[in-house]
Amino acid sequence: MYPNLYYAFKDLFGVNWNGLRFINSFGFFVALSFLAAAYILTLELKRKERAGLLTGQDVKMIVGKQASAGELLLNFFLGFLLGYKIIGLFISGSETTADPQQYIFSSEGNWPIGIALGLLFAGLKWWEKHKQKLDKPEERTIRIWPHDRVGDLVIYAALFGFLGAKIFHNLENWQDFKTNPIEALLSFSGLTFYGGLICAAVAIYYYSRKHKIDFRHLCDAIAPALILAYSIGRIGCQVAGDGDWGILNSAYVTEMGPESKVQPADTTRFQNTLQAHNSFYLRTFQVNNVSEIPHARVKAPAWLPNWLFAYSYPHNVVNEGVRIPGCEEEQFCNQLPIPVFPTPFYETVFCFLLFLFLWSLRKKLKVPGTLFGVYLIVNGIERFFVEQIRVNTKYSIFGFHPTQAEIIAVCLVLAGAALYLYMKRKYGAKIDPLKA
């Protein structure tokens, strides 16, 4: 496991670049997922614009003005933060950067580099505006197309998606939040995808209405991008070991040593290992007896590697499990004594296949909104089934014990089916087959 890129580069290339401790592996893949989603969304929006399904918006702008004091101050501030914190992190000693989260929220930093980079950013902004300066600034009307706003859409989705993911995660883990609310809110880990999806959808709906973008076609364009982003983001969960894994696979146990290996185990050895680490498992699953801990016994076929069915997540970012013998780091030195099903990997594969499926349907489903309905259905089905082997907090509702994700997954399937049927009934007869 690679909690952050420092460990990845150290293992793969043998270099010790302390600044890479700041780049969390999960966050790195989330950033890649947003870039991939932005690319796919841009392609789809351009296609819909060429087809006449989406139109541009005329916006009046003042051109030829010199950079304002506010613009210069904003660029100085951004440059200062980059130099003071990020570059300062790269050139600081290992003692300072051992805990990048604590470093980011502390007053530690590099003042000279921060000020120098702030002045550079402000100077570049001044020079950019100076080159475009006119003797007399004038008002011009510029047409902005939906694909020109992809950057704004991604920022909205990122900000409100992160906020929603944090809120829903803390609702799902209320006891942990009550114990330490500040750490729960500021932690770099602990995100719930559906919370992010719901809050980001509300924000994007508001943005589309404000800028007169047909929300139905925008939803269809964003559907393949969303499922691809989810697939790539799950790579980060797997690589970092963020706790978003499956239940125990009782067919294996972890060999405790410097090298993490899983070994086949019979029922007796599994039970003995479970009892040997009962305090950890009772606390993790919040049960009174180890017999209540969920597990499944599945052996990997001979032609597949064991880790596809049983993985111990060594050096995981959430420090879950027991300490690895010989590990000298202060953190990220734990692994699971009994391996689990690597559900993030499963979701990466399944969701990429769903992306290909939605991508193949995007030109076939002519009625606006129907592709997004299909996305909701397949997304909900995928998540509902993977929840059957995932570790998550369960609720008690009228004798049933669903997880938060199962409840939302069922709602998504129902909402997707309702949306598909409603759009087909309302707009299906209006679609001209030849024009479509």
More confident residue, 111 or 232: 232
As a whole number of angstroms, the distance between CA 291 and CA 259 comes to: 29
Considering the entire predicted model, what is its pTM? 0.82
Q: Which of 46-50, 163-167, 338-342 has the lowest mean pLDDT?
A: 163-167
Residue 102 placed within a domain: yes
Q: What tokens were used for 220? A: 């269809």
Q: What is the mean pLDDT of residues 258-263?
A: 81
Q: Which residue do the tokens 């998504």 mark?
A: 412
Residue 391 placed within a domain: no
Asked if 20 and 6 touch (Cβ cutoff 8 Å), the reply is yes
Residue 67 placed within a domain: yes
- Boundary (domain end) residue, out of 321, 341, 361: 341
Instruction: Give the DSSP H or E segment for 252.
Output: strand 252-255
Residues 6+ apart with CB under 8 A from 149: 207, 211, 213
Query: Hey, which residues does 59 pair with through a beta bridge?
Result: 142
Asked if 420 and 373 touch (Cβ cutoff 8 Å), the reply is yes
Q: What is the pLDDT of residues 5-42, one digit of tens each?
A: 888 888 888 888 777 777 788 878 988 998 999 999 99
As a whole number of angstroms, the distance between CA 1 and CA 313 comes to: 6
Q: Which one, of 339, 274, 343, lies nearest residue 311 by Cα? A: 339
Q: What tokens were used for 4? A: 């952050």
Residue 434, pLDDT score: 42
Angle, vertex CA 125, rays to CA 119 and CA 130, nearest 5: 120
State the amino acid at position 358 in one-letter form: L
As a whole number of angstroms, the distance between CA 380 and CA 49 comes to: 29
3-state SS class at 191: coil
Q: What is the pLDDT of residues 217-244, one digit of tens each?
A: 999 999 999 999 999 999 999 999 988 8
What is the Cα 120 distance to its own chain's centre? 32
The boundaries of the domain holding residue 305 are 248-341
C-beta atoms surrounding 23 within 10 Å: 19
Task: Check pLDDT > 60 for residue 432.
Answer: no
Q: What tokens were used for 125? A: 């902004």
Residue 364, pLDDT score: 94
Output phi, psi for 345, to 5 deg.
-65, -40
Residue 329 placed within a domain: yes
Residue 346 placed within a domain: no
As a whole number of angstroms, the distance between CA 353 and CA 357 comes to: 6
* DSSP code for 304: S
Encode 349-359: b = buried (16+ Cβ within 10 Å), e = exposed: ebbbebbeebb
3-state SS class at 334: strand
Give 144's pLDDT tier (boundaries 50, 70, 90): very high
Output phi, psi for 307, to 5 deg.
-65, -20
Output phi, psi for 53, to 5 deg.
-85, -25
3-state SS class at 297: coil
Q: What is the mean pLDDT of residues 303-307?
A: 93
Residue 428, pLDDT score: 75
261-264 and 252-255: which strand pairing? antiparallel
- Boundary (domain end) residue, out of 312, 341, 370: 341
* C-alpha dihedral (56, 61, 66, 68), degrees to nearest 10: -90
Q: Which residue do the tokens 């047409």 mark?
A: 143
End-to-end CA distance of the chain: 49
Residue 183 placed within a domain: no
Task: Please tell me the total number of residues recorded for the chain in this structure.
Answer: 436
Residue 4, pLDDT score: 84
Task: Check pLDDT > 60 for residue 411.
Answer: yes
3-state SS class at 123: helix
Asked if 147 and 42 touch (Cβ cutoff 8 Å), the reply is yes
Angle, vertex CA 53, rays to CA 50 and CA 59, nearest 5: 85
Q: What is the mean pLDDT of the chain?
A: 85
Residue 101, pLDDT score: 57
Q: Which residue do the tokens 């929840």 mark?
A: 387
Give 163's pLDDT tier (boundaries 50, 70, 90): confident
Residue 262 placed within a domain: yes
Residue 412, pLDDT score: 92
More confident residue, 110 or 120: 120
As a whole number of angstroms, the distance between CA 226 and CA 149 comes to: 17
Give 312's pLDDT tier (boundaries 50, 70, 90): very high
Q: What is the pLDDT of residues 343-358, one digit of tens each?
A: 999 999 999 999 999 9
Residue 129 placed within a domain: yes
Output phi, psi for 266, to 5 deg.
-85, 180
Q: What tokens were used for 315? A: 């050096």
State the amino acid at position 44 in one-letter form: E
Q: What is the pLDDT of residues 179-224, one digit of tens each?
A: 666 555 555 455 555 567 788 888 899 999 999 999 999 999 999 9
Q: Which one, of 412, 409, 362, lies nearest residue 387 by Cα? A: 409
Domain count, the chain: 2
- Boundary (domain end) residue, out of 341, 364, 394: 341
Output phi, psi for 51, to 5 deg.
-80, -5
